[in-house]
Amino acid sequence: MSRIWDISQPLHTAVPVWPGEPAFALHSHAVIGDGCPVNVGGMFTPLHAGTHGDAPLHYANDGASSADCELDAYIGPCVLLDVRHARGRVEIADIDWDAIEGSERVLLRTYECFPHDQWDSDFTAIASDVIARLGAMGVRLIGTDAASLDPEQSKTLDAHQAVKAADMRILEGLVLDDVPPGRYELVALPLRIVGADASPVRAILREIA
Ligand SMILES: N[C@@H](CC(=O)c1ccccc1NC=O)C(=O)O
Ligand SMILES: [Zn+2]
Ligand SMILES: [Zn+2]
């Protein structure tokens, strides 16, 4: 059996969310007992909480929602690169471009240790020319352990706009601490949420035999 790495954040009431977003919440609608045979819950989650995929609708009013995204970008061979040496923003010079050759999905590890317990406003963004070069190489999906491709305070969202121009897909909030750089099979399917600009995903990497 080939090894599986779960690269998803646990979702719970204290999961760090984008400043101003409401917290994740889990509700109990029924509990076993007094003639009730089941426990039944419900949840509220910001669509960008935890490990998630942005839909094109997030950065373009005419973009596809999570329910309408083609799924093939989110499942298939990928390459994981360690770019912890990047400072502030992943630049062209920070990437081993030869290691990407031929891969349609690229995941970048920017954290030494993923910040599970507190929001990190200073996460490492990705320069838009890096996205543009990836798109020109045929990369269809960019994933990062950071909360966003662009800096928290960005109003122009240059990296997201470069993703739009290349019709790429995005995964954010991946947890990559335990995974060695290399090539894997990625599975990280967005939920079929009609009208959603993002969706939680259960992201995994599987060793390629
Ligand atoms: N993960 C999201 C973060 C994001 O853009 C965001 C999420 C909630 C509220 C505001 C956001 N962006 C800018 O104001 C993203 O980068 O796509
Ligand atoms: Zn997002
Ligand atoms: Zn994003």
Q: Please provide the DSSP assignment of 152-201 as one string.
A: TT-SS-HHHHHHHHTT-EEEES---TT--SEEEEEE-PPP--TT-SEEE-
Choose one of 45, 48, 157 to mutate for the ligand 1 pocket test, by most ligand atoms within 8 angstroms of C-beta: 48
- C-alpha 59 – ligand 1 centre gap (Å): 10
Nearest to 50 by CA among 189, 126, 147: 147
- C-alpha 165 – ligand 1 centre gap (Å): 19
Stretch 147-166: mean pLDDT, rounded? 98
The pLDDT tens digits for 139-154 are 999 999 999 999 999 9
Predicted confidence at residue 3, as pLDDT, reads 96
User: Domains in the chain: how many in total?
Assistant: 1
Determine how β-strand 169-172 pairs with β-strand 141-144. Answer: parallel
The pLDDT tens digits for 186-209 are 999 999 999 999 999 999 999 997
> Which residue among the candidates 12, 27, 29, 58 is catalytic per the annotation?
58
Q: What is the CATH number of the domain that holds 150?
A: 3.50.30.50
Predicted confidence at residue 1, as pLDDT, reads 85
85 is annotated as an active-site residue: no
- The CB of 148 under 6 Å from ligand 1? The reply is yes
Q: How many other CB atoms are there within 10 angstroms of residue 5's CB atom?
A: 17
Q: What pTM does this model have?
A: 0.97
Stretch 149-165: mean pLDDT, rounded? 98
The pLDDT tens digits for 108-136 are 999 999 999 999 999 999 999 999 999 99
Predicted confidence at residue 39, as pLDDT, reads 98
Tell me which residue range forms the domain holding 36. 4-207
